[in-house]
């Protein structure tokens, strides 16, 4: 590959893993950095920081000059925010700016980090790349990622940019402590004694990074590839965690109406206190919908090989235990 590669979002969880994968391949990697803190983070990994912002088109153009490939992994992933407009701007407008900058600089290929949430599969179905969208959104985050992907695909086709989309499910592994990883941490630390029966779909962070690279190298123009290593029910997850750590010792599964009521109470409390709380109606809707995705196309076509489920969970738990964030694995105890 001639010329440097640019990564947006390189100081984040997914973008950071992608940086490490590209650098390990011996590539010259630039990383867009909006802040000094982000610049230090990507430089520490070995990439060349380039100051810029996806909402600042001229800075994107400068960052992309001379680049053959751009990985656009920057984005905001949040639930229950009081004002979702900043997230909309970054995810939708920022993605459009990346396409426009790629046109201006003659980038050969753009890899867009979308989300499995953008599939919008109907309740009770398994999401695939060709699943019809249900026509409504579980959350403002899901809406922003769906509209961002549509903008990227439509603008790229119209403006002549070679783009491929990657749609990861919930990305987990060492280094993630926020978002959905909090559920895992709260479970093994006994801080989540109540659950509802649902499904979650997960991809190992290393597989996510590898899936991006393989999609760039072998993916079809205008195509999207779901990355999903496994789907597990919450009951199965509790059993696996107990086998690996002995925790959680007690968990009670409650009816779905209880979770809906809790979401409404928390959302009302957030409005009264003007605080962003960890639970709200859109978070409960997403939880109760559950997600089951089919990641086999990424295996068949680009050739991704997924990490086994237990290995992914073990890696994450071992990382947490080493930092005192979770109990040690049973086999590691005296």
Q: What is the residue whose two structure tokens read 């893993």?
A: 17
64-82 average pLDDT score: 95
Q: Which of 291, 84, 295 is nearest to 180 (CA)?
A: 291
Structure confidence at residue 249 as a pLDDT band (50, 70, 90):
confident
Structure confidence at residue 254 as a pLDDT band (50, 70, 90):
confident
Answer for the pair 90, 76: CB distance below 8 angstroms, yes or no. yes
For the stretch 76-132, pLDDT in tens is 999 988 899 999 999 999 999 999 999 999 999 999 999 999 999 999 999 999 999
pLDDT over threshold 60, residue 326: yes
- Asked, for residue 13, whether it belongs to a domain, the answer is yes
User: What pLDDT is recorded for position 56?
Assistant: 98
For the stretch 12-32, pLDDT in tens is 999 999 999 999 999 999 999
Q: Which of 297, 296, 293 is nearest to 126 (CA)?
A: 293
54-65 average pLDDT score: 98
Structure confidence at residue 264 as a pLDDT band (50, 70, 90):
low
Annotated active-site residue 141? The verdict is: yes
User: What pLDDT is recorded for position 255?
Assistant: 83
Query: Residue 239's CB: how many other CB atoms inside 10 A?
Result: 12
The CATH code of the domain that includes 35 is 3.40.50.720
- Asked, for residue 265, whether it belongs to a domain, the answer is no
Q: What percent of the chain has pLDDT over 90?
A: 80
- Asked, for residue 158, whether it belongs to a domain, the answer is yes
pLDDT over threshold 50, residue 334: no
Structure confidence at residue 279 as a pLDDT band (50, 70, 90):
confident
Largest pairwise CA distance in the chain? 62
Q: Which residues pair with 230 in a beta bridge?
A: 202
User: What pLDDT is recorded for position 258?
Assistant: 80
29-56 average pLDDT score: 97
**Can you tell me whether residue 283 is helix, strand or coil?**
helix
Query: Residue 300's CB: how many other CB atoms inside 10 A?
Result: 9
Q: Which of 245, 123, 219 is nearest to 166 (CA)?
A: 219
- Asked, for residue 177, whether it belongs to a domain, the answer is no
Which domain covers residue 36, as residue numbers? 5-171+203-229+291-307
User: What pLDDT is recorded for position 307?
Assistant: 98
User: Which stretch of DSSP H or E encloses residue 5?
Assistant: strand 5-8
- Asked, for residue 236, whether it belongs to a domain, the answer is no
**Opening angle at CA 164, ends 159 and 170, nearest 5:** 135
Rounded distance between C-alpha atoms, residue 63 and residue 53, angstroms: 10
State the average pLDDT for the chain: 92
How many domains are there within the chain? 1
Q: Helices (DSSP H) in the chain: which residue ranges?
A: 13-24, 36-45, 57-64, 85-88, 94-105, 140-159, 181-188, 205-218, 234-245, 256-273, 281-289, 296-300, 309-322
- Tell whether pTM > 0.85: yes
User: What pLDDT is recorded for position 321?
Assistant: 95
User: What pLDDT is recorded for position 333?
Assistant: 45
Answer for the pair 99, 163: CB distance below 8 angstroms, yes or no. yes
User: What pLDDT is recorded for position 7?
Assistant: 98
Half-sphere exposure of 27 (CA within 13 A, CB side): 22
- Asked, for residue 179, whether it belongs to a domain, the answer is no
pLDDT over threshold 90, residue 270: no
Rounded distance between C-alpha atoms, residue 175 and residue 204, angstroms: 12
CA-based torsion, 169, 175, 180, 183: positive or negative = positive
pLDDT over threshold 70, residue 263: no
Structure confidence at residue 325 as a pLDDT band (50, 70, 90):
very high
- Asked, for residue 274, whether it belongs to a domain, the answer is no
- Asked, for residue 65, whether it belongs to a domain, the answer is yes
3-state per-residue secondary structure call for 174-243: CCCCCCCHHHHHHHHCCCCCEECCCEEEEEEHHHHHHHHHHHHHHCCCCCEEEECCEEEEHHHHHHHHHH
Least confident of 102-106, 136-140, 191-195, 262-266: 262-266
Answer for the pair 189, 326: CB distance below 8 angstroms, yes or no. yes
202-214 average pLDDT score: 98
Among 137, 141, 293, 306, the one annotated catalytic? 141
């Amino acid at each position: 590959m001639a010329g440097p590669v640019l990564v947006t979002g390189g100081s984040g969880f997914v973008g950071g893993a992608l940086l490490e994968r590209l650098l390990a391949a011996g590539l010259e990697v630039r990383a867009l950095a909006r802040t000094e803190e982000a610049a230090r983070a990507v430089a520490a990994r070995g990439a060349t920081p380039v100051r810029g912002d996806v909402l600042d088109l001229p800075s994107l153009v400068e960052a992309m000059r001379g680049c053959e490939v751009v990985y656009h992994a920057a984005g905001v992933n949040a639930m229950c925010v009081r004002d979702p407009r900043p997230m909309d701007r970054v995810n939708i407008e920022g993605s459009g700016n990346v396409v426009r900058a790629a046109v201006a600089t003659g980038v050969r290929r753009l890899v867009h980090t979308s989300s499995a949430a953008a599939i919008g599969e109907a309740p009770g179905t398994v999401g695939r790349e060709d699943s019809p969208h249900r026509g409504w959104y579980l959350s403002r985050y899901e809406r922003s990622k769906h509209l961002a992907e549509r903008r990227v695909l439509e603008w790229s086709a119209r403006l002549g940019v070679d783009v491929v989309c990657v749609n990861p499910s919930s990305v987990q592994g060492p280094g993630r402590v926020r978002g959905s990883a909090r559920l895992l941490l709260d479970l093994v630390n006994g801080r989540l004694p109540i659950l509802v029966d649902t499904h979650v779909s997960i991809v190992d962070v290393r597989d996510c990074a590898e899936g991006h690279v393989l999609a760039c190298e072998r993916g079809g123009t205008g195509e999207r590839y779901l990355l999903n290593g496994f789907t597990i029910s919450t009951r199965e997850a509790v059993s696996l965690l107990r086998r690996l750590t002995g925790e959680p010792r007690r968990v009670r599964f409650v009816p779905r109406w209880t979770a809906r009521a809790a979401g409404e109470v928390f959302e009302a409390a957030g409005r009264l206190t003007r605080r962003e709380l960890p639970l709200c109606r859109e978070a409960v809707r997403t939880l109760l919908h559950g997600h089951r995705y089919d990641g086999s196309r990424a295996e068949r076509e680009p050739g991704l090989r997924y990490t086994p489920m237990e290995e992914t969970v073990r890696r994450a738990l071992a990382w947490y235990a080493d930092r005192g964030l979770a109990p040690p694995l049973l086999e590691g105890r005296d």
